[in-house]
Amino acid sequence: MTMNTKGNVWIFIEQEGGKIAEVSLELVCKGTELAKKLGVVSEAVILGDHLDGKIDSIFHYGCETVYQVEDQALEPFTVLPYAQALVKLLKQHKPNILLFGATLKGRELAPRVASEMLCGLTADCTDLQIDDFEDKVNKVSYKDKLMQIRPAFGGNIIATIVNTWDDPQIVTVREGVMKLTAPDTSKKGKVVKITPELSDEARVMKVIKRVRKPRTVDLKKASIIVAGGYGVGTKENFKLIEQLAEALGGQVAASRAAVDAGWINHDYQVGQTGVTVRPKLYIACGISGSVQHVAGMNESAKIIAINNDPGAPIFSVAHYGIVGELNDVVPKLIKAFKAKV
């Protein structure tokens, strides 16, 4: 028995800082790629108004239709009523795949939608592919299913998850994981405006106050990153990482272990539970190289690893490796670079 679905690929669009969020545009690029493999089209759904001049960028990256759900009586984003409106849209249009950013909004909305739709949800995917799947237990073959790839078991393995429940196949993806391709400004699309029919109960939520904490660092824009891990040893030793980054004109970063140790705050964390980066140069100091960390930096143009353990997994993804003690190697690197400047 073979099963196949041919619904379109949908992307949930978010706004950030008065424009379309970059993670949403990254998902439009990936969603359009998946749609082409399926022989369908990519479409988007966006919640809220005040979008004049912003929606065009969604078309430039490949979407053909944007469903704009707006209600002047609602706050710009209140989860429960908009989840209700999104579920109605999904039941009406029956998309094959639905992509959310793994943001505060996406993580709050996606599980509510998946629960209401009685379908699967895979969080924090690092890759998405289309392939056939054979369920050997139930003797059912599925054509063109979404391969939902993510670290599992604490980041020790990479798992491929397939949703054989009813569509849509829903996933969340973190910012920076999917590549942002060059936009085609000649592309146009259609906007379908929808006023949701909501019950009185769905309108009782009111946002009283918003507290925004500005980011202290933007690792995604850094061309040189020097990252420290638990192998740095102490918070005092982490100053060596800062000194090397300063000498190179780069940005400091860290692994999750260094952040959990309290040596630096979470804004500087690279990896599956941090930021995904693609700098020209990434120097990993005292980082073992867990799957979760590597997922956030393995597409860097050049990777240099410094570790006193010659068997550390980080060396398998590094272009250049230095086996030695951090307190010995890093000061020599700083001195050598300053001598050439």
User: Is 134 within 8 Å of 141 (Cβ atoms)?
Assistant: yes
The average confidence (pLDDT) of the chain is: 87
The contacts of residue 270 (CB under 8 Å, 6+ apart) are 219, 225, 227, 253, 254, 255, 276, 277, 293, 296, 297
Is 71's pLDDT higher than 70? no
Across 287-309, average pLDDT: 92
**In percent, how much of the chain has pLDDT > 90?**
58
The CATH number covering residue 275 comes to: 3.40.50.1220
Q: Which residues on adjacent β-strands are paired with residue 4?
A: 143
In this structure, is residue 214 part of a structural domain? no
If asked whether residues 54 and 150 sit together in one domain, one would say yes
Of 44, 58, 61, the C-alpha closest to 99 is: 44
Whole-number CA gyration radius for the chain: 22
If asked whether residues 19 and 53 sit together in one domain, one would say yes
| Count of domains observed in the chain | 2
If asked whether residues 158 and 260 sit together in one domain, one would say no
Across 37-44, average pLDDT: 95
The CATH number covering residue 192 comes to: 3.40.50.620
Helix (H, G, I), strand (E, B) or coil at 309: coil
If asked whether residues 169 and 249 sit together in one domain, one would say no
In this structure, is residue 36 part of a structural domain? yes
If asked whether residues 251 and 194 sit together in one domain, one would say no
Q: Which residue has the tokens 């992509």?
A: 99
Is 332's pLDDT higher than 80? yes
User: Is 7 within 8 Å of 167 (Cβ atoms)?
Assistant: yes
For residue 146, what pLDDT is reported? 95
The contacts of residue 59 (CB under 8 Å, 6+ apart) are 66, 187, 188, 189
Last residue of a domain, one of 203, 234, 258: 203
More confident residue, 32 or 275: 32
Sign of the alpha-carbon dihedral angle for 261, 263, 266, 272: negative
If asked whether residues 196 and 94 sit together in one domain, one would say yes
If asked whether residues 97 and 149 sit together in one domain, one would say yes
For residue 198, what pLDDT is reported? 65
Last residue of a domain, one of 160, 179, 203: 203
In this structure, is residue 87 part of a structural domain? yes
If asked whether residues 190 and 320 sit together in one domain, one would say no
C-alpha 48 chain-centroid distance: 22
If asked whether residues 121 and 234 sit together in one domain, one would say no
More confident residue, 304 or 151: 304
User: Is 158 within 8 Å of 52 (Cβ atoms)?
Assistant: no
Distance from C-alpha of 185 to C-alpha of 168, rounded to nearest angstrom: 29
Across 42-53, average pLDDT: 77
Across 280-289, average pLDDT: 95
The contacts of residue 151 (CB under 8 Å, 6+ apart) are 124, 126, 157, 158, 159, 272, 291, 292, 295
Q: Which residue has the tokens 């599992």?
A: 152
Please report which confidence band the pLDDT of residue 53 belongs to, taking 50, 70 and 90 as the band edges.
low
pTM of the model: 0.77
Q: Choose from 136-140, 193-197, 233-237, 302-306 the range with maximum mean pLDDT.
A: 302-306
The predicted-structure confidence for 95-139, as pLDDT tens digits, reads as follows 999 999 998 889 989 999 999 999 989 999 989 999 999 988 888
In this structure, is residue 77 part of a structural domain? yes
Please report which confidence band the pLDDT of residue 339 belongs to, taking 50, 70 and 90 as the band edges.
confident
In this structure, is residue 211 part of a structural domain? no
Is 285's pLDDT higher than 90? yes
Distances in whole angstroms, Cα of residue 236 to Cα of each of 228, 256, 263, 265, 335: 12, 17, 8, 15, 19
If asked whether residues 10 and 128 sit together in one domain, one would say yes
If asked whether residues 223 and 198 sit together in one domain, one would say no
Distance from C-alpha of 139 to C-alpha of 162, rounded to nearest angstrom: 15
Least confident span in 31-45, 80-94, 120-134, 180-194? 80-94
Domain that includes residue 144, residue range = 2-203
The contacts of residue 268 (CB under 8 Å, 6+ apart) are 217, 219, 252, 253, 254, 259, 274
Distance from C-alpha of 69 to C-alpha of 121, rounded to nearest angstrom: 23
Please report which confidence band the pLDDT of residue 1 belongs to, taking 50, 70 and 90 as the band edges.
very low
For residue 110 the two structure tokens come to 């996606």
For residue 195, what pLDDT is reported? 79
Across 75-80, average pLDDT: 61
If you ran DSSP here, which 8-state letter would residue 268 be given? Answer: G
Distance from C-alpha of 256 to C-alpha of 306, rounded to nearest angstrom: 17
CA-CA-CA-CA dihedral for 120, 122, 123, 128, to nearest 10? -140
Please report which confidence band the pLDDT of residue 2 belongs to, taking 50, 70 and 90 as the band edges.
very low
Count CB neighbours of 260 within 10 A.
12
More confident residue, 42 or 51: 42
Q: What are phi and psi of 182, to 5 degrees?
A: -70, 135
Helix, strand, coil distribution of the chain in percent, nearest 5: 30, 30, 40
In this structure, is residue 81 part of a structural domain? yes
Is 169's pLDDT higher than 80? yes
